[in-house]
Amino acid sequence: MSLEVEKVTKVFGQNTAVDNVSFAVDRPGFIGIIGRSGAGKSTFLRMINRLTDASMGAIRFEGRNVLELRGSAKRAWQSDCAMIFQQFNLVPRLDVVSNVLHGTLNRHSALTTFFNLYPSADIHRAIDILDRLGIAEQAPKRAEALSGGQQQRVAIARALMQDPRIILADEPIASLDPMNAQVVMDALRRIHEEDGRMVIANLHTLDTARRYCDRVIGMRDGRVVFDGTPDQLTTGAARDIYGADASFSEASTSTSINALDETSRAMMEEAELL
């Protein structure tokens, strides 16, 4: 599996959101993209699956420039790279299994979908995928009745229904508490390892990027300022990526620390742990 990103640029008016981004991947890795707010992470992911058109550049998947695809070829590509979002994007009042079946939408007519007339083979597959993610018993419940971590696993199940080659995840754990964040990241990692799917995830914390990714790309002001392994992602490298001044601390980008309540934070600060 090869993905080559070549000089990809996105301009919004006067603002260059993604600036000449290039990198190449020659196997289905688990890639993390980090950088401060506004660095261009979401815009970049959205260009890969064609939710946003690039202003310049090429993205070649197995040699073919996906930025040039039109019509059914474009839709097939979008189905090959499923997207997961911070806010899960489920239909809240719809039951879990129907939400998962939405992942087959590209293959069915609008009428079939409207009447919830899914083939039973698809329904069985949806349940199997939910089972694999440890939430099969939630299948008949409304999506809105589930915890955030469960809802994000439903979104992953919906993505897997497409049998994607790549999973694009835009801050998949930014709305979750540390425990649910871990469950969701573990699920993505397992899908990557067992199925050989590439994962490209925008992550807002250094510790998650270090722990789960085999390659990390750091973006700053639309440009790639770091591209390496978690080992190479030193405090100095992180400082460059986040553009932090002397007050920069590793902890300030850590999920677990951010999730602490104010009292514990104050106590830790007093003890100079932060």
Is 87 one of the binding residues for ligand ATP (CB under 6 A)? no
* DSSP single-letter state for residue 9: E
Among 28, 35, 178, 218, binds ligand ATP (CB under 6 A): 35
Counting every residue, how long is the chain? Answer: 274
Q: Toward Mg ion, which CB reaches closer, 42 or 182? A: 42
Q: Toward ligand ATP, which CB reaches closer, 21 or 160? A: 21
Q: Compute the distance between CA of residue 212 and CA of residue 135 in angstroms, rounded to an integer.
A: 22
Token duo for residue 150: 């469960």
Residue 72 interacts with, from Mg ion, ligand ATP, none (CB under 5-8 Å by kind)? none
Q: Which residue is nearest to Mg ion (CB)?
A: 42
Q: Cα separations (Å) of 34 from 116, 134, 260, 273? A: 39, 28, 22, 24
Is 230 one of the binding residues for ligand ATP (CB under 6 A)? no
To the nearest 10°, report the CA torsion of 186, 191, 194, 199.
-100
- Residue pair 126/100 in contact (Cβ under 8 Å)? The answer is yes
Half-sphere exposure of 144 (CA within 13 A, CB side): 4
The residue assigned the tokens 């998962």 is: 100
Query: CB of 151: closest distance to ligand ATP in angstroms?
Result: 19
Backbone angles phi and psi of 140, in degrees to 5: -80, -10
- Of residues 48-67, those binding ligand ATP (CB under 6 A): none
Query: CB of 203: closest distance to Mg ion in angstroms?
Result: 11
Q: Toward Mg ion, which CB reaches closer, 146 or 201? A: 201
Is 42 one of the binding residues for Mg ion (CB under 5 A)? yes
- Of residues 5-34, those binding ligand ATP (CB under 6 A): 12, 15, 17
Q: What are the residues binding Mg ion (CB under 5 A)?
A: 41-42
Q: What are the residues binding ligand ATP (CB under 6 A)?
A: 12, 15, 17, 35, 37-43
